[in-house]
Amino acid sequence: MTKSANTMWGGRFAAGPDAIMEAINASIGFDQRLAAQDIAGSRAHAAMLAACGIISDTDSEAIGEGLLTVLSEIEAGDFAFSTALEDIHMNVEARLKEVIGEPAGRLHTGRSRNDQVAVDFRLWVRDQCDAADAALAELMRALLGQAEAGAEYVMPGFTHLQVAQPVTWGHHMLAYVEMFARDRSRLADARKRMNFSPLGAAALAGTSFPIDRHMTAKALGFDGPMPNSLDATSDRDFALEFLAASSICAMHMSRLAEELVIWSSAQFRFVKMSDRWSTGSSIMPQKRNPDAAELIRAKIGRIFGANVALMTVMKGLPLTYSKDMQEDKEQVFDAADNLMLALAAMAGMVADMTPQVESLRAAAATGFSTATDLADWLVRELGLPFRDAHHVTGTLVALAESKGCDLPDLSLDEMKSAHTGITQDVFTVLGVDNSVASRTSFGGTAPSEVRKRAADWKEVLG
């Protein structure tokens, strides 16, 4: 390690760590992503120090302008990051000293790298919450577009991946709109809870300098400062909550990706994926592979893994800061990158995919999907207890199965063989269109309900 880097540590250490220690200790390889947040926090801190009379206005202005110069170098790709300087904080401060000289040494008054990294990381995660929220809104709009276009498209609804009852394509799309709306709500909730500033908590106990933590919190867009300095430097709940919300969102995307893989197969033919989101085979010219959906389904594991990894890092740490916490960022960075990539790819796939209406309708009519409609008719029109109606319907399903036909294909006499009260009117509920149209309860699959809910979401999403 260079003498200048050792000086940054202070006079306590006569010799620098060897190459292995330098490699394990340094974080600049990944925490350079916090540069913008680090400089924003430092500029707010310098302005506060001057306002409180701790440093001069001249020094504060020099620091603020110098930090902008450093930021412009980083953004232009002209900044030489040094592993010997360990992290983004030391790299920025060392370069600031080269740019403005002696005033740079006053920037660190009243703070520590412990509260500095806490505020940088919190600002970065807050930005990711906002980015993920915007990406989720785009995905929801794509799903909403599909729902509006296919409000009347009949398709099979499944339980146990077996045909259960007819539903509409629009209703199925809106189910995912609801899921992703909850993801947005979780991110918003997490963002609100994380929006308090650790800056000024210093190493762990606060500082004897007359700083104004409320001022820096306001300057950085926080709702206020964190009220306990020990908690402020040791807390990583904000990152864990982001990962937890991301994991649930990722799970939702994985479920949708799985359906797209199944639906686009030759066995289902429910949906056609566009060329933009499909690939061919190097040997089989007939293949059209839903690779984007499959990659989304796989990348979800990295987000889950990040959540578990950070939980494991934090679970045994006493208050306050331990170097273990340096392992928090790479996991969150990777999860955020993959979440954003997956959200963008999913929005593109959903917007471009084409439902195969005839295949959907044909599948909806299989598997005795209107059996429940028959049972409901027996209850409603003949006054049978539901359990008796269930038994009569089961008898007719068995009869149709033995004949190799579906329920609407049975004759009235065959229907009457199970219950003499059955009339010709029963056939009005057995078609898949009649079935979905009848499901008008709030949240039901009827096209009329789908359009109502789609209109509500359209107003929300704009």
Its sign, for the CA torsion 355, 361, 364, 367, is: negative
Dist. CA 279–CA 259, nearest whole Å: 18
SS3 for the chain, per residue? CCHHHHHHHCCCCCCCCCHHHHHHHCCHHHHHHHHHHHHHHHHHHHHHHHHCCCCCHHHHHHHHHHHHHHHHHHHHCCCCCCHHHCCHHHHHHHHHHHHHCHHHHHCCCCCCHHHHHHHHHHHHHHHHHHHHHHHHHHHHHHHHHHHHHCCCCEEEEEECCEEEEEEEHHHHHHHHHHHHHHHHHHHHHHHHHHCCECCCCCCCCCCCCCCCHHHHHHHCCCCCECCCHHHHHHCCHHHHHHHHHHHHHHHHHHHHHHHHHHHCCCCCCCEECCHHHCECCCCCCCCCECHHHHHHHHHHHHHHHHHHHHHHHHCCCCCCCCHHHHHHHHHHHHHHHHHHHHHHHHHHHHHHCEECHHHHHHHHCCCCCCHHHHHHHHHHHHCCCHHHHHHHHHHHHHHHHHHCCCHHHCCHHHHHCCCCCCCHHHHHCCCHHHHHHHCCCCCCCCHHHHHHHHHHHHHHHC
The strand pairing partners of 272, in sequence order, are: 354
Its sign, for the CA torsion 179, 185, 191, 194, is: negative
Helices 169-194 & 237-263 angle (0-180, nearest 10): 170
Is 281 part of the annotated catalytic residue set?
yes
Of 160, 208, 282, 411, the catalytic one is 160
Dist. CA 165–CA 369, nearest whole Å: 5
Is 435 part of the annotated catalytic residue set?
no
Closest CA to 137 of 456, 452, 454, 460: 460
Which token pair is 109? 């008054």
Of 56, 185, 274, 281, the catalytic one is 281
Show which residues are catalytic: 160, 281
